Amino acid sequence: MLNAIKLSDRQVSLFRDRGFIVLREAFSRSVSENIREWADEISRFPEEIGKHWVYHETSLIDEKNELINRIENMTPFHKGLSALADSFIPSCEQLLGEEAVLFKDKINFKMPGGDGFKPHQDSQAGWEFYATYFINVMVCLDEATLDNGCLELANRPAGLADTKLVGKEWAPLSEEETASMDFKPYPTKPGDVIYFDSYAPHKSAQNLTEKSRRLYFSTYNRLSEGDHLESYYADKRKNFPPDIEREVDKNYVYRV
């Protein structure tokens, strides 16, 4: 079992003030190597209906090359990644001030030729149907740089309550909505961890380098607002299922 991260009072206060905190070397080198191996393992698992979810994308460098874009719904099928998700519950409870429960988990691969993510708040993806507030935990698996598309975050806009969307659901933030936001890149190395909430604006660039930029994310909500992991994935399967479960003649569009 992984040791849980203990946040300081200052870290909790900073998170509540701006919506995110960055922890350098939160995991030792040996633990980081274990986590990276878990990511390698699940990427080698065969894609099967009813198992973990795998999504692909066409390379921006070579359109003949299909890349793994994302793997989701991993905790039921990998003990190590399940333990990793569990290890963040105590620290998320510190931030929430009450019991927390896992909402979802994923690895964004962003391999060489992988696309970026437009500015958005995660609650724009319909999350408020399930609960009012969420905390994401990002673990760096491969070194993430400005060149290969590291996470870029902005403080909450002045006067914005921490439970309010800036933009519309199911659409990235517009240029007008981000005009006053000061996005800053946060390059990370394996073992670094970033906590950010579902209203913290963020984005990342394309990866046109020769190095992969894999980032692990797990998301949590207040247990008092329900355990929604199974219902979330059941709902998502209807509209944006993993590639192996898709109908050949149906168009699926990723929105945010």
Would you place residue 157 in the very low, low, confident or very high pLDDT band (cuts 50, 70, 90)? low
Q: Is 172 helix (H, G, I), strand (E, B) or coil?
A: coil
pLDDT at 153: 98
pLDDT digits (tens, 9 = 90+) for 168-185: 999 999 999 999 899 999
The superfamily in CATH containing domain 9-244 is q2cbj1_9rhob like domain (2.60.120.620)
Ramachandran region, residue 126 (left: φ > 0; alpha: ψ -120 to 50; beta: rest): left
Q: Pick the closest to residue 140 from 59, 212, 206 (CA basis).
A: 212
Instruction: Identify the helix (H) or strand (E) that includes residue 104.
Output: strand 100-108
Q: What is the pLDDT of residues 234-250, one digit of tens each?
A: 999 999 999 999 999 99
Neighbour tally for 18: CB within 10 Å: 16
* CA 160 – CA 143 distance, rounded (Å): 32
d(CA 232, CA 234): 5
Give residue 158's pLDDT: 58
**Quick one: 147 exposed, middle or buried, by C-beta within 10 A (0-12, 13-18, 19+)?**
middle
**What is the structure's pLDDT at 30?**
96
At which residue do the structure tokens 């040791």 appear?
3
pLDDT recorded at residue 99? 98
Q: Which residues pair with 152 in a beta bridge?
A: 185, 203
**pLDDT > 70 in the chain, percent:** 96
For 63-90, the pLDDT digits (tens) are 999 999 999 999 999 999 999 999 999 9
Question: What residue segments make up the domains of the chain, in order of their start?
Answer: 9-244
**Virtual torsion, Cα 77, 214, 124, 220, nearest 10 deg:** 50
Q: Where does the pLDDT of residue 167 fall: very low under 50, low under 70, confident under 90, or very high at 90 and above?
A: confident
35-66: pLDDT as tens digits: 999 999 999 999 999 999 999 999 999 999 99
The reported pLDDT for the residue numbered 163 is 56
Contact residues for 167 (Cβ-Cβ < 8 A; gap 6+): 120, 121, 124, 173, 174, 177
CB burial class (10 A; 0-12, 13-18, 19+) of residue 165? middle
Tell me, yes or no, if the pTM score tops 0.95. yes
